[in-house]
Structure 1
Amino acid sequence: MILGKRFFYIIAVMLLCSSPLYSQVGINTITPHASSALDVQSPGNNQGVLLPRMTTIQKNAIVNPAVGLLVYDTDRKCISQNAGTSASPLWVCLMALDTHTKTFYMPSVAVDASVVATNQTLDLYDEYKKQFGTPTAVSTGAPAGLPYFPSPTDLYYYVTQYDTSVLNITSINASGVMTYDVIQAAAYDSFMNVVFAVK
């Protein structure tokens, strides 16, 4: 009887040692990608992943949502991610179907147009990133910064209006660097509107 128990333990240990251990989980695959914690594959390449679906109120009622938590917001019709903290969630739409949510105005920025000058540059993306990343004032309990697009090429850049008697915009490159000439000193009421569009 004792020999039988020892034999059982030896066999169990041998099986455990011979079994491959994986740190990834694969669904419909026995070889999940090494960089993934979860690798889901569609056998016929005709199926997707369905995230939990809920209204905005239900989403906002999630207690201490993990940073990066994803749900599908049925009201906003978008994949929504917690870009804040568990204690202070900041839900942002990653992929909205409504085209109106894909554009936003650049934060206010001062452009020195006090003297005539040519071939001046202003990095629109850099100004946006600085202001969103390090706002000058934050409400109690809010994250220290706003989420922003990590690459300047994630956006398209538009100037929808500017004072053509003061500036001549010659180009805006794909990274958001605007080149312009100051053709006369600006008055106090000269403005420029810059809009970003998500690609």
Structure 2
Amino acid sequence: MKQLYFAMLAVLFSTVSFAQTKIGTSPDINADAMFEVESTNKGLLLPRVELNSTKEAAPMSTHVAGMTVYNTKAQNDVLVGFYYNDGEKWQQMVTKDYKAVKFFYMPSIVFDTSEDRSGVTINLFEEYKKQFALQNDSHFISEGAPKAGIPYFEKATDLYYYVTSYDKTVFTIKSITKEGLMTYDVKAQATDCTIMNVVFVVKD
């Protein structure tokens, strides 16, 4: 009986002593941390799983708010990357450079349709980068906004380029390279209803 009592006491003291846990070279632990990892040459590797969709808890048994994983397979409405659970569904984590936003619309640009022309080229990536970096004299920003511009992707090959809708009576699109260089013909002048809608999709 005494042995059982002492064993339970040892477990109790052990639990209290290690209520805060740290892995690292220094014994000091942040007072607000339950668990701290310290290293100058190692990272924290979170569980790698295959999520099927944002609505399904699988491979977990149920949705648990705060659960965090790294999804390894793009399928249905989930992409490769970090996800957390909000208690009802999986949410993809948005990184500081906004790369988790997987698509966005091309800024407005001007197409010269004043005369018929063949083999015209326009660099969709450079036009986007120019506007996001505020490399023109026709921009305006709100008070306190960074004057350096809007975060943008540095490489043209980080993106896919889609023209989702355009006026075929005005344009004939010949090709779009993987660097975003679009070649097209102008075969008529634009009207009040002429449109071309360009979408950029972020590569996984």
Q: Note the alpha carbon deviations across 1:69-103, whole angstroms, 9 max, x for none.
A: xx9876693444445xxxxxxxx3x33xxxxx411
Aligned partner of 1:183: which letter?
A: K
Cα distance in 1 between the residues matched to 2:94 and 2:160 = 22
Residues 1:167 and 2:177 are matched in the alignment: no
Cα distance in 2 between the residues matched to 1:82 and 1:110 = 31
Tell me which moved more, 173-182 or 136-145.
136-145
Corresponding residue for residue 59 of structure 1? none
Corresponding residue for residue 138 of structure 1? 141
Q: Note the alpha carbon deviations across 1:99-158, whole angstroms, 9 max, x for none.
A: xx4111100000111100000001100010011111711111111200001100000000
Cα distance in 2 between the residues matched to 1:74 and 1:48 = 14
What's the TM-score once normalised by structure 2's chain length?
Answer: 0.54
Aligned partner of 2:42: which letter?
A: V
Cα distance in 2 between the residues matched to 1:40 and 1:77 = 27
SS in 1 for 2:41: strand
Query: CA distance change for structure 1 residues 152 and 140 in 2, over 3 Å: closer, same or farther?
Result: same
Please give the residue correspondences for 1:50-129 in structure 2 after superposition, counting only pairs within 5 Å.
Answer: 77-82=91-96, 92=98, 94-95=99-100, 101-129=101-129
- Flag the structure with higher helix content: 1
Cα distance in 2 between the residues matched to 1:197 and 1:122 = 18
What's the TM-score once normalised by structure 1's chain length?
Answer: 0.56
Aligned length: 128
CA contact (8 A) 1:72 1:80 kept: no
Corresponding residue for residue 40 of structure 1? 42
C-alpha RMSD of matched pairs (Å): 3.0
Residues 1:156 and 2:160 are matched in the alignment: yes
| Runs of 4 or more above 4 Å deviation | 71-76
Query: CA distance change for structure 1 residues 48 and 191 in 2, over 3 Å: closer, same or farther?
Result: same
Corresponding residue for residue 58 of structure 1? none
Query: CA distance change for structure 1 residues 79 and 39 in 2, over 3 Å: closer, same or farther?
Result: farther
Cα distance in 1 between the residues matched to 2:96 and 2:178 = 29
Corresponding residue for residue 189 of structure 1? 193
- Provide structure 2 residue ranges, at least 5 long, that are not aligned to the other structure: 1-23, 25-38, 48-64, 67-81
- Provide structure 1 residue ranges, at least 5 long, that are not aligned to the other structure: 1-26, 28-36, 55-70, 84-91, 96-100
Q: Displacement of 1:183 after TM fit?
A: 1.1
Cα distance in 1 between the residues matched to 2:96 and 2:145 = 13
SS in 2 for 1:38: coil
Cα distance in 2 between the residues matched to 1:180 and 1:118 = 7
Query: CA distance change for structure 1 residues 181 and 82 in 2, over 3 Å: closer, same or farther?
Result: same
* Identity across the alignment (%): 43
